[in-house]
Structure 1
Amino acid sequence: MKKYIWIGCLLMMHLACQKLDIRPLTIFGNATLSQLTDQTAKMTTEMVDLAENATQHGYCWATTPNPTVSNTKVELGALNRSAESIISFTSDITGLTPNTRYYLRAYVQVAGEIFYSEQVIFNTLETSPFISANSVNNINNTTAETQGNILRLQTGISYTQYGHCWATQTGPTINDAKTELGQPTAAGPFTSNLTGLQAAQTYFVRAYLIISTGEVIYSNELTFTTLSN
């Protein structure tokens, strides 16, 4: 008799384990912060293994660690379980204060319970100018020299590159011709030599500064015309 009771218990345990999903409801993957400004940012998060449909998901943030949905948040709505192994969602983070450190987490609500990702820490930019384009000198038919100035490097922000960019249309970007002067370590003036120019051509030039999240800060714009042959 005891033997049959023991077998019955084992069978019940087996059936219970089959019904029990012991996987975590969500596993948050890669998180990417981009398009950082003085008052906004964009956040993208990957979520792996959504075991059930979610009634709500989004982001929450605060100026103190480990924010929750009781803090400022953006709600992106319900999220259905997908056959895809990775779900990615993106949102603009707005209404931020310039030159302020923020803590941000993704969240998902499943069956009345809220799950949070690891927090991302970032500093918004300051509002005053970072970089300026000062002058263009030594203009020839195919070359010129331009001066810029890094006015300041904000504490808490990492920078990867700086220089000048130029084009024959207004609003040049780093996708146009440019100089790369390396990673800036201090504020101060700098010079770029512009080469490969066309004779008797009007150019527009701006200084630029790239921060580690990929955003590019541009200066005011200068214009000049090369000499004819």
Structure 2
Amino acid sequence: MKKLYFLLCFVFIIIFEWSCSDLQFDRIDKVSKAMINQDSNLVIAESDVIDVSAAKTIAYGHCWNTKGIPTIADFHSSKTNAPHKEIFTDTIKNIEVNTTYFIRSYIQKESEIIYGEETSFTATVKGLTITCLSVKVTGNQSFTVGSNINGIGSLKIFEYGSICIKANNDLQEMKKYESLKNDTSWNDSYSNLVKGETYKIKAYIKLSDSQIIYSNELSLSMPQLIIMTDTVTITGSSSVMLQGTIENLPYEIVSNHGFCWSATSAAPDYNASRISLYESTDTGNYNAVLTGLQKGVRYYYRAFALSNNSVVYGEIKSFIIN
């Protein structure tokens, strides 16, 4: 009986000491299956570090490809701070539209790489905007157009730029730039344009060989100087009042305007007799009095304007004082 008693006491002591000591388990490295959050065109991968071993961690993050079973030899993120049991996220960039991607989380140790379960996603276009904002004339034959792109998110843009088209829909010129990863604004300058010609301008982005998105379209008529020769009013036996109109102004200022006239030439020009009214910054009517004229003589006249060392004339007209 005594032996049984001592045996029971011994077993009790062993059980007591074992219950009071710390339980020791080997820790393992484990990450969860990535969750994919797609907000408009932004793709965010979220995973959970379930457990971390004592072995040194080199890096952890997400890896992805278009073939399946992605590894860190493919596209991947890399976080180097020591991981704890936590949720971590990565924004996946440079994604091609309508393409399926495979993704999984990973932890890289000195001797091995542990991967989470694979999942997949497909990027579509939603909320991507491209806008042609404004067109500004910068010269008689040039203008600048401003555009922007918003909502790129994770999408890969292969090409972007703007297009200038003539009124007959022939291409005037195209400005293009390679690749884009973030929202942007930019300006394009076009030159060697024709005065009085109307041009249509729009911006574009290329998502793939078969998918191009265009912006709204703006139009602009290149400014040109237009002068009209108006009526003449006989004000006396030797005087008249000539009238003209600046119908349209060019980009540069009108440095001189007025009338040229002659009694000997049916096509008076700037080098003939003229009345100069000098600079003008506005469109509208103007007039000048011509005196010292003779009765019975036919006089020829026309309005003129000088801009950027170029003279523009109105129609040739004539009068006789009887």
Q: TM-score range by the shorter chain?
A: 0.3 to 0.5
Pick the structure with greater CA Rg. Answer: 2
Normalised to the residue count of structure 2, the TM-score between the two structures is 0.31
Q: Which has the higher contact order (CA 8 A, sep 6+)?
A: 1
Normalised to the residue count of structure 1, the TM-score between the two structures is 0.43
